[in-house]
Amino acid sequence: MDPIFLKPYDPKAHEDTIYKRWEESGFFNPDNLPPLKKRKKREPYSIVLPPPNVTGTLHMGHAAMLAIQDILIRFNRMRGKKTLWLPGVDHAAIATQSKVESDIYKKEKKTRHDLGREVFLKRVEEFAKESHDTIVNQIKKMGSSVDWSREAFTLDEVRTKAVYTAFKQMYEDGLIYRSARVCNWDPKGQTTVSDDETEREEREAMLYTFRYDKDFPIAISTTRPETKLGDTGVAVHPSDTRYAKYVGKTFDASFMGEKLSIKVVADKEVDMEFGTGAVGVTPAHSFTDWDIATRHDLPLKQVINEYAQMTAGNDSVKGKKVKVARNIIVEELRKAGLIEKEEKVMQSVLIAERTGGVIEPLPKLQWWIDTEKEFKLKHSRINGIKSGSTVTLKRLMKHVVEKGHISILPERFTKIYYHWIDNLRPWCISRQIWYGHRIPIWYHEPRCVPIPGREEEVSECEMTVLSETQPKCAHCNAIYIQDTDTLDTWFSSGLWTFSTLGWPEKTNDLKTYHPTDVLETGYDILFFWVARMILMSGYLLGDIPFRTVYLHGLVRDEKGRKMSKSLGNIIDPLDMIEKYGGDATRLSLIIGAAAGNDLRLSEEKIRGYKHFVNKLWNIARFILENYNEDALDARFNDTDQKFMDKEVQTAVERVTKNIESFRLDLAADEVYHFVWDKFAAVEIEFTKSALKNPGTKDWARKSAQRKLYDTLVVSLKLLHPFMPFVTETIWSYLPQKEKTLLMVEEWPA
């Protein structure tokens, strides 16, 4: 036995060394895996790492994601598959730019406009590089066996080419267009944001029931009376007999100095039980109202600007922030006796995730993807949809899940996915920020100075062109100016499963590893990222991006609360690894965490699994200190061996089955109890007496030693996907005839 086992197991003394050994072996790269003993060819198995944002450090949710994916990769590698786990990071445009802007202003009292676009972007890139290096270190600390030689970045050269190729194809097919529509506007960040870059907060609000003026026949209810300056209609339910006589009529009203022309319309979206059953329609400042206005041909009237200030009304409200204007309007309504009811309600307020600004729905000229426009699918490998078929993006997204080409786990999220697809709005893909993929659209300068001798061609000047370089007009001396907006980060990350494999080039990696086998991520971004990847892969490749979507839950504190700085309940994965090691941290995030369910985590739980790591170390020490090399050639006592063989076989079958069915929590729990309750508590304790008994015959002693050794070998293999560091460490000290790494050993049959 090596003297190292005379000391307690210290993760800090082994984990970095073990990870370095894995890296140096080259086995993270599937091209370098050793030949199989029994089979000639390895089947491919691939996962792309959901790219962490380059905005800081990883949290426990990321740690859980890394643990789950590494279990699947290590298991399938040991099953003899050609496993690729491809890593990368996301430039996370809004989050990264906001972070750098904030830091610059705090330290230098300067804005990005003070620095200029070129200088500012250089500062952002420096920050992203530093953050990237921190994230890479954290991924390694978790024991993640990713192929670093294939690492990708959403803003690198290969991914940029993929983004521009995708944009060009969608633009030419008419799926990408520019139009003024209502979108999520962040007044604080001064940009549009997608639904997935927002979060909802429940806040107390006042619901006001009032009339625009004393002559208006209908009272309406709203929590935002300041937006009513932009009303162009009042909507009621078609079945509401109270208002039937008003439907189709138009009434003039004077509201806070603003002349309104209000048409009463009947629309099924109206809730008869809300307020008076009549709602003011503000097409410019509500997604729902925009839809109602579109259906009933109501005009749009904007009364709030990009800084959340009023642009309409009398002098008392014009130019005021919306909150201030709201209070002024309510007071005026009270004085005029127009308020019929005031009541406190809970309101769901939409917040920009990165800046904390309250979202203002505003009509903006933006770039959009039309998910309902029909187009011809150029090529298809999707069963049920042939190449050349006329489809919509919505149909593609729904078809592949309905027909079982993609499985979503847990299954209950499938219905939620369908609901989200059915209610999908046009996707706003432009952002008013500097960091990110700049939209590859150029606009002709207003001036047209003819090239001598070609004066007649000026009429042929194109006003807008699609290009990957800055072009000059072919008919005059004007240049083209590139669109200043950048693309939504989700546009580039929607290409992630295949852009990371080299698309649009037809690479060997793309042919071998796509579609990927599993997309593992949090259930909170099912609708945003997962759906967009299905959209992009279906459209650009005519294929699915992955076969299975495995959704993990949120990691909460021991009381079930979300971890946050304000609550002071954040558990840092690096702190836990420093204290208890990567294995204990990983195990604490797996046992008790079924797919789709939130996990309660405490430091005490992690400490508890450190005891199990120590237990395994002590088991190995006992077996090795009582080990005789001749035992490898010993015959077995059939009676003793029969019991343990059955227990080992049962454990192998159950662990294997549970991993294959994505019940990683049950698989980890199964091997945990096998090692602790059956191997240590029963078999080792029983064998101790035989080894200590001087009357035990030599062949029986060797048989017992061989049995314990073989069971340890199987236990280490079963535990390796869950606890890679300690198992690999112990494996390296086993008296093997051929020194190998446990990570490429074959899974127990």
E-strand stretches of 54-153: 82-86, 88-89, 152-153
CB-CB contact of 28 with 147 (8 Å): yes
Mean pLDDT per segment of 10 residues, for the chain of length 749 residues? 89 96 98 86 96 85 95 97 96 89 92 94 93 92 98 96 96 95 93 85 94 96 96 97 96 96 96 94 95 96 96 96 96 96 94 89 95 95 95 96 96 92 90 94 85 78 77 82 93 96 97 97 81 96 97 90 82 94 97 91 95 96 83 51 76 97 97 95 84 77 86 96 98 86 95
pLDDT on residue 469: 67
CA–CA separation, 425 and 111 (whole Å):
34
Residue with tokens 């706003």: 428
The CA-based angle 293-295-298, given to 5 degrees, is 35
Q: Which residues contact 735 (CB under 8 A, 6 or more apart)?
A: 624, 627, 629, 632
CA distance from start to end of the chain = 28
pLDDT on residue 635: 54
Q: Assess whether the region 185-366 and the region 580-744 belong to the same CATH fold.
A: no
DSSP string over 283-327: GGG-HHHHHHHHHHT------B-TTSBB-SS-TTTTTSBHHHHHH
What's the 3-state SS for 223-274?
CCHHHHHHCCEEEECCCCHHHHHHCCCEEEEEECCEEEEEEEEECCCCCCCC
pLDDT on residue 639: 47
Helix axes 573-580, 60-78, angle to 10 degrees: 60
| Amino acid in the structure at residue 97 | Q
Q: Which of 16, 173, 168, 148 is nearest to 88 (CA)?
A: 148
Residue with tokens 């670093």: 148
CA–CA separation, 315 and 305 (whole Å):
16
- Parse the chain into domains and list their residue ranges: 185-366, 442-482, 580-744
Say what the pTM is.
0.88
580-744: in CATH 1.10.357.10? no
Q: Cα–chain-centroid distance for residue 232? A: 39
Fold exhibited by the domain 185-366: Isoleucyl-tRNA Synthetase; domain 2 (3.90.740)
CA–CA separation, 584 and 462 (whole Å):
63
The CA-based angle 409-64-669, given to 5 degrees, is 75
Q: Which two tokens stand for residue 525?
A: 């971004």
pLDDT on residue 58: 83
